[in-house]
Structure 1
Amino acid sequence: MTEPPRKPRAPRQDAPVSLPATETAQALGEILAGRDLSQARAAKLAGTSQPFLNQVATGRRKPSAEWVDLIAAALALSPEESERLHRAAAKDHGFRIDLTERRPKG
């Protein structure tokens, strides 16, 4: 006797939404999405490995300040975007930063 095929299960509606695990992951994800860039393309532009960039973008690794500089230069980030990424990385490394404080322009 053959069993009837099973219906595929619908996704659980109460399942939590997966959010980036770090401030850096969130900032980098928004920057890449805003430029319509894939992780692979961004890694190639920066001359870094795609697996490392993916680990940063998913919150599994915390980048150094030098790596943030590399990405910022490769993606031609604005000073504000670069600062946002640096602040996020610093916060992820445990530095206490008042993210509401802004430096005067000029």
Structure 2
Amino acid sequence: MADPETLLTVENITLRFGGVRALTDVSFDIRRGEIRAIIGPNGAGKSSMLNCINGFYHPQEGRITYKGQTRKQMKPHEAARTGIARTFQNIALFKGMSTLDNI
């Protein structure tokens, strides 16, 4: 049985676009209360990994499990219902509003 403190498990994820491998055999766990970061240079696969987790992309290999449920071919709106969603960078700030209000 999986550790109940583990919220997200990424196992052996491989994502290809034609002959290009964006992700190869990526694995990690995130436990309750942890804060993690995905860092790397441009083209390293950071956005591709997040897009696999949130359902925008479907990896050719591997498995993603969130709160004990395998996320196979989940659509983004279905992923959002489970508590995982994505927002895109938007550098258009509203003048006259505080940083917090812009968030």
The normalised TM-score by structure 1 is 0.27
Name whichever structure is richer in helix by fraction: 1
Larger Rg: 1
The normalised TM-score by structure 2 is 0.27
Name whichever structure is richer in strand by fraction: 2
